[in-house]
Amino acid sequence: MTNKLKYVMGLFFEERESTKPFILIRYLMLIVMSLILILCIINDFNSNFMKTIYLLLGIGSIIDGFESLLKKENKRQMLLNFGIAFIWFVVFLI
């Protein structure tokens, strides 16, 4: 494989190690979002339930940003996580 292809594959399939508290928080948020999605399907995609999912996605991105800040990873990755969180919060407020 060429270096560019490895770089592009690395963007989509990121290998990183998280600490146990962050893994636990992410799994709990995933479970809550799944339950809310089931409620959305039952209630014909009520906007209040969808807004809750957007809020949880924003919180998840902030958690990823803080994790990269604490691990002193690439600053670009940290800013990207906070930028994505900002986008999720804007969608939540709309």
**Does 15 reside within a domain?**
no
pTM score, whole prediction: 0.69
Is 65 part of any domain? yes
pLDDT in tens, 31-58: 888 888 888 888 877 777 788 888 888 9
Whether the predicted pLDDT of 63 surpasses 70: yes
Cα 24 to Cα 39: distance, rounded to the nearest angstrom: 23
pLDDT tier at 86 (50, 70, 90 boundaries)?
A: very high
In terms of residue numbers, what domain contains 61?
37-94
Q: Is residue 47 part of a domain?
A: yes
Is residue 4 in a domain?
no
Name which of 24, 22, 48 is nearest 36 in CA terms: 48
Domain count, the chain: 1
Asked whether residue 54 is domain-assigned, the answer is: yes
Q: Give me 72's structure tokens.
A: 């002193």
In percent, the amount of the chain with pLDDT more than 90 equals 3
